Amino acid sequence: MDQAPLPIRSERIVEHLAKLATFSSSPPPEVTRVLFSAPDLAAREWLQARFVEEGLTVRHDAVGNLFARWIGEDPELPAVATGSHIDAVPHSGRFDGTVGVLGALEAFRVLRESGLNPKRSLEIVVFTAEEPTRFGISCLGSRALTGKLAPQDLEVLRDEAGVSFDSLRVGAGLAHLPLDALVLSPRYAAFLELHIEQGPLLEREGAAIGAVEAIAAPAAYRVRWQGAAGHAGTMLMSDRRDALAGAAEGILAIERAAVEWGTIDTVATVGQIAVLPGALNAVAGSASFGIDLRDIDLKRREAVSIQIREALERIARRRSLELTWEVVYEDPPASCDPGLVAQILESADRLGFGAMRMISRAYHDSLFLALRCPIAMIFIPCRDGRSHCPEEYSSPSQIEAGVRVLADCLRVLAGYGKSPDPATATVLPGRVRPR
């Protein structure tokens, strides 16, 4: 196959990113696109039309994961897959997840235009609800696809308004697809996810490409503090069982526990809290919040979790509060396939892009695909490392670099070109970052 530079059109990707950002329930420059909301359904319809225009074979599964396949010479061979997500947390930006979907579409376009007829089929996967916004569960689509969420788990899901997941998927036109036929089979030969870094390291190091070697282990917990509600004027301080005061002290204990371990890889976050009765002149009778705890070291994350829970229990006892601790999920870290990491580095090197090995401290659908097939991730820089906000930004040239590397990797993995030896793969001088 001719290996002349592929005619990537970054302006086409940027135009599509701008169009996709218009499917939002918040005004620009913010993007809010929640699972099965009207903007989400409209975005799915628009994206599906783009896939059909490119001659791809499109299908959905029972939870709304969207698949667009370029059928190869030997359809019986396990396909090579790529993709990401298009849902967006409230008031966020236009690049998180979407670069991996629209970048994959551009990679498919230029490979087709260059005359590639792949031996293996190539497939774009658009995962349902990578963000936890509606049901409090991250990576819902990839969890279901890989068997980490069973049909009975999905059937009992309710959002904060009490709306069931099942009724939403029926409203999205997925009622005819059975939940018990979800699990990915057969395995993909490989899965590559292109994504903005959502952190500052690539920008600081001056590298265009990050070859992700491992994805951090995420855990989530729900904590409820039960005290006694009362009048803010008549309930004496000595008589109070203030749930919000206990929760506030607990949040600081959570922050302190993560900091005391002295490693940049341990992070703990409380990003939302609910209080009842929620009035200015009422003592809080109950308060609840979620904890997001992450680390690349599973044993250390487990130790931090125990430390946090014990600290919260001490606070609750001292304040005469009842504490309820619920595990939402405790997922293991994922290791990327060394051969795929080597391929990313080799492609970046040959195309002239500085690259570095790195860890993903955010987690992605790739974490769950790793349960079923070899995976790796391609990171590109984002300005100041900012994400999940309107200021999220990657330049057209940064996106183009990522798409070029992705397309080159897909070309090799689909059956053209020689894969590198993981033991000898290198990166450009000055772009190696020790783990």
- Tens of pLDDT, residues 53-104: 999 999 999 999 999 999 999 999 999 999 999 999 999 999 999 999 999 9
| pLDDT for residue 184 | 74
Nearest to 258 by CA among 361, 132, 127: 361
**What is the mean predicted confidence (pLDDT) over 357-374?**
94
**What is the mean predicted confidence (pLDDT) over 103-119?**
94
- Angle (CA) 168-170-173 rounded to 5° is 115
Strands 286-295 and 267-269 turn out to be: antiparallel
| pLDDT for residue 421 | 53
**What is the mean predicted confidence (pLDDT) over 164-189?**
88
| pLDDT for residue 136 | 86
| pLDDT for residue 422 | 52
| pLDDT for residue 418 | 52
Residues present in the chain in total: 435
Q: Are the C-beta atoms of 344 and 419 separated by less than 8 Å?
A: no
CA torsion, ordered 172, 174, 180, 186, to nearest 10 deg? -110
**What is the Cα–Cα distance from 210 to 201, expressed in whole angstroms?**
9
Q: Are the C-beta atoms of 123 and 58 separated by less than 8 Å?
A: no
Residue 419 has pLDDT above 60, yes or no: no
Residue 425 has pLDDT above 60, yes or no: no
The pTM of this model reads 0.88
| pLDDT for residue 420 | 53
The CA-atom distances, in angstroms, between 36 and each of 40, 85, 143, 172, 363 are: 5, 13, 17, 7, 22
| pLDDT for residue 92 | 97
Q: Whole-number mean pLDDT of the chain? A: 93
**What is the Cα–Cα distance from 259 to 129, expressed in whole angstroms?**
30
In this structure, what token pair is assigned to residue 264? Answer: 């940049």
pLDDT digit string, tens, across residues 32-52: 999 999 999 999 999 999 999
pLDDT digit string, tens, across residues 209-238: 999 999 998 899 999 999 999 999 999 999
- In percent, how much of the chain has pLDDT > 70? 94
**What is the mean predicted confidence (pLDDT) over 257-285?**
96
Residue 410 has pLDDT above 60, yes or no: yes
In this structure, what token pair is assigned to residue 64? Answer: 């709304």
CB atoms within 10 A of CB 369: 27
pLDDT digit string, tens, across residues 293-337: 999 899 999 999 999 999 999 999 999 999 999 999 999 999 999
- The H-assigned helical ranges of 84-138 are 98-113
| pLDDT for residue 181 | 78
Instruction: Give all domains of the chain, ordered by start, each with its CATH number.
Output: 10-216+333-413 (3.40.630.10), 218-330 (3.30.70.360)
Nearest to 364 by CA among 238, 192, 248, 204: 192
Quick one: pLDDT band at residue 187, thresholds 50, 70, 90?
Answer: confident
**What is the mean predicted confidence (pLDDT) over 126-152?**
94
Q: Are the C-beta atoms of 363 and 212 separated by less than 8 Å?
A: no
Nearest to 419 by CA among 338, 341, 343, 337: 343
**What is the Cα–Cα distance from 346 to 344, expressed in whole angstroms?**
6
Nearest to 212 by CA among 201, 222, 224: 201
| pLDDT for residue 185 | 64
